[in-house]
Amino acid sequence: MAGPLESLNARFPCRERQIGDLAALLGQDDIPAPPVLVLFGTEATGKSTIAKAVLDEIEIPYAYVSCKECVTARHVFEKAYTSCDALITSSNGEDKGRQIRPDSVNALAGQLQKLIPSSGKVVLVLDAIDKQREITPTMLSGLARMGEVIKNLTVIMIVTVSSTRLLNVSEPPSIHFPAYNKEECVKILSLSPKSIFEVDEEDEYSEEMEKEDQWLWAQCCSAVWDIMGKYAARNLNALKDVVDELWPSLIQPIVDNEYGTRDFPKLFNRLKNEKLRNSEESYVSMQITKAPTATATDAASLAPNRAHDLPYFSKYLLCSAYLASFNTARYDIRYFSKLAESTGKRKRVTKRKNTSRQLNRKHLGPRPFQLERMLAIFQAILPSSVLSSVDIGSQIATLSSLRLIRKVSNVASATDASSKWRVNVGYEYVKVVGRSVKFDLETHLEE
């Protein structure tokens, strides 16, 4: 028994306990397996991988259903049944003509009871069952008790968080997969280091090179963990993504023969100066695309031109929608009246407001406004007046289908004057839009 587990431990370091537990619960021939087993832990802690690997190793027939792949609950049941069916028919070698689709937990249990032979163990792994999209209150507990109804069946449920409430089964045997800490992460990532130099087929991959690779890779991993482990790369996969991303630029100086492989501090400093300082945020938000690789001068001259522009009046409409959302209606006359306004009064009021501790409107989120009010503000902030026409209406429609503004009320006609709307983009975006038409948003915005 010790032999296979050793190899598992080598493949999956830092998980000796969990592997041992799993093997002990399932792999003892003379002891019946528990009806339900819960594996829990956060993302990227090796739950599914280890469960599959252990089950493979101890050679128990198992059916694996990834619930994330399933769209509905019925879909889960169908998959569970068909995979169990495949498991047993393939070992028996007989073919059933008609397909069965259980559409409830009961039906699934009934069908499985008929299907599963009375000797030998069968394991059904339900991966990420708590992430299932159409989860009903009884579904989880029903599935959990299936193992009690059907002899020989063990249901393994892989979930993120375990609690007794979850399954309504008192203390099911459960194995916790804790998140990896720094040493463990580095150790795991070090299993598959990337190489510094591209290895040609003719060049043999010397041991020395391998050592260099491993050393630098481990250094890199631990440094990235130190910088980002707290907020950006909280789990193993995220960390791996970041390291993968940074690796090519890290080793570039080595490839260019500027630094040796052991000059890690220098290399990393350089990397930090070049990439991390500017785009640290981009690693936090994990952009889909790589940052434009064009040279700096190129990008600067092209940048304003590349952007697709809204039509002139659409920009003003967006600004007025923003103002209508963030200003209160009773101050409209003060901000938008074209008549001369006594500034003294305005100052006094703002002072009083400062003493009463009100939150900035910007932080309270947009409030709905009537379309008519937005049109009035639109006319007020335009440098020259424009007659409303079909074009203005169609621009409002365009803005709404771009979801820059959004209809809130359910009035039948979209352009009904009394329908309620709300702006759907943030201050920064509107400010840029306003600036492009030389409109100063700030002066019209309530403090």
Partner 1 sequence: MDDDSVLNDDSGSLEHQACYIYTPTSEALSSSTPKKRRAASSSRTPRSKREKVDSKNCETPGALGHGFPTLLRDLEDEYAVNARYDAFQRLWGDVERRTDNVLAQVNDETLQSVSTFASKAGQEIYGEKLPTGLILTGPNIAAHGVLFEQIETRIQSVDKRGRVAILTSKDSSNLKNVLKKIIRCVTEIHEGFDDEDDIVEAKTGRNPSRYNYDPEIIHDWCSTHPDAKVVVAVQDTEAFDPAVLVELISILHQYLPKIPFILLLGIATSEDIFYEKLPHSTIRLLRGDRFDVQRFEESMEQVFEEAVLSSQSILKLGPRVADVIFERQKDHTRSVASFVMALKYAYMSHFYANALSVVLGSVDSEEELNNILSDAHCEAIRNLPSFKPFVEAKISTFPWQARDLLTSNKALKAAVFNASKGCRSYSTNLSEAITVFRKLQSIVSPQQANDIPTYELYSRILWGEFTTRPAFRDAMLTAKKINAEKFHALLTSLSELPSELSHKLSAAADKVQELQSEKAAKGSSLVSEFALPDSHRTTVKSGRVRLDELKSGMTSQDTEYHKLVASTIQSLEKYFKDKFKPYTNLFLHEIFFYDLKSPHSQVFAAKPRPSVERALSRPGDYLGCECCGGNDDEEGRGIEGSQPYTAILYQLYLESPALIGVYDLWSAFRMVSLGDKADQEEDEDDEEEKELQAQFYRALAELRYLGFVKYSKKKTDHLVKLAWKGL
Residues that bind partner 1 (CB under 8 A): 66, 68-69, 71-72, 74-75, 78, 82, 99, 101, 133, 238, 241, 285-290, 305-314, 372, 375-376, 378-379, 386-392, 394-395, 398, 401-404, 416-418, 425-426, 429
Nearest to 106 by CA among 146, 65, 157, 154: 146
Q: Give the C-alpha separation, 265 to 195, whole Å.
A: 19
Are 153 and 83 spatial neighbours (Cβ–Cβ below 8 Å)? no
Pairing type for strands 122-127 and 369-370 reads unpaired
- Rounded (5°) CA angle 146-149-150: 85
B/e letters for 255-265, b = 16+ CB within 10 Å, e = fewer, are eeeebebeebe
Q: Encode 201-262 in three state secondary structure.
A: CCCCCCHHHHHHHHHHHHHHHHHHHHHHCCCCCCCHHHHHHHHHHHHHHHHHHHHCCCCCCC
Give the CA distances from residue 66 to residues 83, 394, 411, in Å, rounded to whole numbers and listed in that order: 11, 46, 43
- Residue 234 CA from chain centroid, whole number: 12
Question: Minimum distance between the CB of residue 311 and partner 1, rounded to whole angstroms?
Answer: 5
| Helix pair angle (137-149, 105-115), 10° resolution | 20
Neighbours of 101 (CB within 10 A): 13
Q: Give the C-alpha separation, 85 to 59, whole Å.
A: 18
Closest to partner 1 by CB, 277 or 290: 290
Tokens at 93, concatenated: 């070698």
- Sequence-distant (≥ 6) Cβ neighbours of residue 386 within 8 angstroms: 313, 379, 392
For 129-221, strand residue ranges (E) read 153-159, 174-176
Closest to partner 1 by CB, 109 or 425: 425
